[in-house]
Chains A and B, each alone.
Chain A
Amino acid sequence: MTTDAVSMPTLETSESSLSPEAGLLPDFSSAAYKDAYSRINAIVIEGEQEAHDNYISLGSLIPEQAEELSRLARMELKHKKGFTACAANLGVEADMPFAQEFFAPLRNNFQKALAEGNVVTCLLIQAILIEAFAIAAYHIYIPVADPFARKITEGVVKDEYTHLNYGQEWLKANLETSRAELEQANRENLPHVRRMLESVAGDAKVLMMEKEDLIEDFLIAYQDALTEIGFAPREIARLAAAALVG
């Protein structure tokens, strides 16, 4: 006989709370929405600009792939233009100082790794963490975006997979020599990603994007990337947990 099963909730106990909400959209013209959007949109614009700069910088560390990296960088600038148009469409001015501050920890770590020639760390930060973060955020945003932004974001998210894939392939090919640096870079940078998500949770909620969804989607994209790179399931869970605790 089990005692714990007795105290286990049943569907019966929670049935009253099971009414799924309809496909509600936020009021895109409200002051509260525009205020939150000015920061979220700025993060996206800044993120695309920094991604551009980072891929160009990576070209100096991997000169034989500089051309491919420059192609990826150009895509990011195109995304930036698209998201700038999204703000204009809603009559919102992006809060760029906020976004620059938002990215500072990851930007500083990227610049430090770049100066030291640590290509593995640079790739993890830009091509894996930031891309996985972007993919998660765009996926969660698309169903609650205004029609104009929705179309643009749908196009962008496809490109971001290309970028994530670039990082994956490079790290996969160099896993054995990269492992120790990857684990260290993971430890140092993943907590920043969590703090970044937490710092925008309030604004994201106004846009009807839930923090819980954002974190889980980010971790799914990140775990997928680590799987592709060649880590075993248990190692991956341990690596990814740095975004959940600590």
Chain B
Amino acid sequence: MFGLIGHSTSFEDARQLARRLGYDEYAEGDLDMWCSAPPQLLERVQVTSPTGKVIEGAYIDSVFVPEMLSRFKTARRKVLNAMELAQKNGIDITALGGFTSIIFENFNLLKEQHIRNTTLEWERFTTGNTHTAWVICRQVETNAPLLGIDLHKASVAVVGATGDIGSAVCRWLSQRTGVAELLLVARQQQPLLDLQSELGGGRILPLEEALPQADVVVWVASLPQTLTIDVANLRKPCLMIDGGYPKNLDSKAAAEGVHVLKGGIVEFGSDIGWQMMEVADMARPQRQMFACFAEAMLLDFEGIHTNFSWGRNNIDLEKMELIGAASLRHGFQALGLEAAPAPSLATA
């Protein structure tokens, strides 16, 4: 059995969801009430692979909302309690979606293995980052040529290059895709130097210098709300893969010739029959989902019940290949640019 731990994108969305699902008391409650509310197992689903294999899963809402990020103890509790609920329900492999894995990583929750009378078994959880990284690379490889960008001659900027997903994307793009040049962007210098030496290449640049030189920009960092992008200075065409969380790039980089694609999203080959992806703002919520969620399904389809993606900078190319092959085999497709990319259609 697979599990997904998710949350709403805002407190207001969360209340609307509660109303829609018949949780009226939650819909009426204020943020303090939500801070005290326990996680909820909202939905059970069955998914059938094109191979014929059938798996069952559950969606757990951690009752976390991003407005709680400023409350460290609340955010930590929401994540750990949701993980405990998954384990208590006997779920073999659960993906930590949205802010869940970010909170787990940034708050160092590995130290918090004991929750009440439960010892969390880490092998039951995955960040899903390996599949996310593979999907983002695939999105670059598939969509850049559609815009007339030849990756063997192109500069690809990776913003958030030293993160778990970012470093995996850099490895793949330099060693498998063979992009002409990688522009490495991140806040801290030392991890950038380490990455550059590991890759045996790549140019370290500040964001404002990297953007005007990039044919493709992969964003895998959380974007500060205050960030503005000078679209006039971008190359045209420019493919932007918005692989961060939350996905807020389309409003910042709307311009003719700039093509923003939601990164790390996959579409399943048939309707899943769940309600939950509507809360994640998917264009086709019956089929589309975060690649990290799909990783839990893939691991369950493949019978790989282990914390496949775990810790920082452990994603190697072999793991990406393995999960990528499983992704294709079980009917997932990386989200692509919608229509023929006529520049006139690309304005927001």
Q: Which residues of A contact B (CB under 8 A)?
A: 1-14, 17-20, 135, 139, 157-158, 161, 210-213, 215-217, 219-220, 223-224, 233-234, 237-238, 240-242, 244-246
Contacts and interface: CB of A to CB of B under 8 A. Distances in A.
A11 B106 contact: yes
Nearest to A143: B114
Best-buried of A7, A12, A17, A238 by chain B (most CB within 10 Å): A12
A19 B12 CA distance: 27
Nearest to B13: A4
Contacts of A161: 117
Contacts of A212: 32, 35-36, 73-74, 77
30 contacts: A2-B250, A3-B251, A5-B281, A6-B248, A8-B9, A8-B246, A8-B248, A10-B69, A10-B223, A10-B224, A10-B248, A11-B99, A13-B69, A13-B224, A18-B72, A20-B72, A20-B107, A139-B117, A212-B77, A219-B36, A220-B38, A220-B84, A220-B116, A223-B38, A237-B40, A238-B23, A241-B26, A244-B36, A245-B28, A245-B29
Contacts of A216: 35-38, 77, 81
Contacts, number: 129
B341 interface: no
A233 B26 contact: no
Contact of B222 (A10, A157, A224): A10
A8 B10 contact: yes
A129 to B, nearest CB: 15
B102 interface: yes
B38 A18 contact: no
Nearest to B187: A12
Question: Chain A at the B interface: mostly helix, strand, loop or mixed?
Answer: helix
B259 to A, nearest CB: 14
Contact of A4 (B9, B24, B76, B223): B9
Best-buried of A1, A9, A11, A20 by chain B (most CB within 10 Å): A11
Interface in B34-49: 35-42
Q: How large is the interface on B (under 10, 10 to 19, 20 to 34, 35 or more residues)?
A: 35 or more
A12 B102 CA distance: 11
Contacts of A241: 23, 25-26, 29
A242 B33 CA distance: 11
Given A5-B247, A245-B28, A11 B69 contact: yes
Which 6 A-B pairs rank lowest in CB-CB distance, beginning with the nearest? A241-B25, A215-B36, A10-B222, A14-B69, A12-B224, A219-B38
Interface string B62-93: 00001101101110110001001100100000
Nearest to B115: A139
Nearest to B102: A11
B348 interface: yes
Contacts of A13: 69, 224-225
B313 interface: no
B190 to A, nearest CB: 18
